[in-house]
Amino acid sequence: MSSIYDLFRTIQKRPALYIGRRSIFELQAFWFGYIHAMDELGHPLSDISDFSEFHDWLQQRLDVKTNLSWASILLFRSSDEREALDLFFDLLEEFINRNQSTDDDDEEEEKEEDYMDLSQLQDD
């Protein structure tokens, strides 16, 4: 696995294989175990630090202010644990891509600036 997001995508395809039953709390327990194992083995937690922003992002995205876990927030917005798990995967993709449009805009601005610099050289 190259990132925690790849691991989540793998779990999404076959949740019973990784977390037993389709439950948001089973995923949360898996997540806590994963963090603990990575820490115990001395592996870098770089992907985890980005995912740690998920809770705050989720509260803002769902307009919720609470100290409940992300799993509990999702269950509150769902009819059962299975639906909450599906909601997690949908929102996770949105979270992963949250800066993509901003990054694309920045690249376009850089291209325009490069073009303007070249046009200025031609005028001289």
Domain that holds residue 62: 4-123
Q: How confident is the model at residue 46 (pLDDT cuts 50, 70, 90)?
A: confident
Number of domains in the chain: 1
Q: What is the pLDDT of residues 89-109, one digit of tens each?
A: 999 999 999 877 655 555 666
Q: What is the pTM of this model?
A: 0.76
Structure tokens at 51: 């995912």
- Alpha-carbon span 117 to 104, nearest angstrom: 20
Q: How confident is the model at residue 1 (pLDDT cuts 50, 70, 90)?
A: very low
